[in-house]
Amino acid sequence: MVLDLDGDTIRGARLGLGGVATKPWRALEAEHILMGRKATDDAFRDAAEIALAGAVAREHNHFKIELAKRTIVRAFATARDANL
């Protein structure tokens, strides 16, 4: 993931996910909803929800969806905190 900030406003974001599906993918819709928003944990949670909206859990990997959401929020928050 990449987070481009102007102060505390998100100027740009990139999010790629791997290891949670059969192939890696970019979460373009999640990137778009972050544009122009304040870099808050709530904004990052919204992006995580959108990024994993179509995820389908299998019998023994339900935890991966929630883990991926939390990882997205933490990664963006870490990038934000490093830039402020």
Model confidence over 6-46: pLDDT tens digits? 999 999 999 998 877 778 889 999 999 999 999 999 999 99
Q: What Rg value do the Cα atoms of the chain yield, rounded?
A: 13
Phi first, then psi: what are they for 12, rounded to 5°?
-165, 155
Give the pLDDT score at 22.
76
The number of distinct structural domains making up the chain is: 1
CA dist., res. 43 & res. 39, Å (int): 6
Give the pLDDT score at 84.
65
Give the pLDDT score at 46.
98
CA dist., res. 84 & res. 77, Å (int): 11
User: What is the pTM assigned to this prediction?
Assistant: 0.90
Instruction: Give the domain CATH number at 66.
Output: 3.30.390.50
Provide the domain limits for residue 57: 2-83
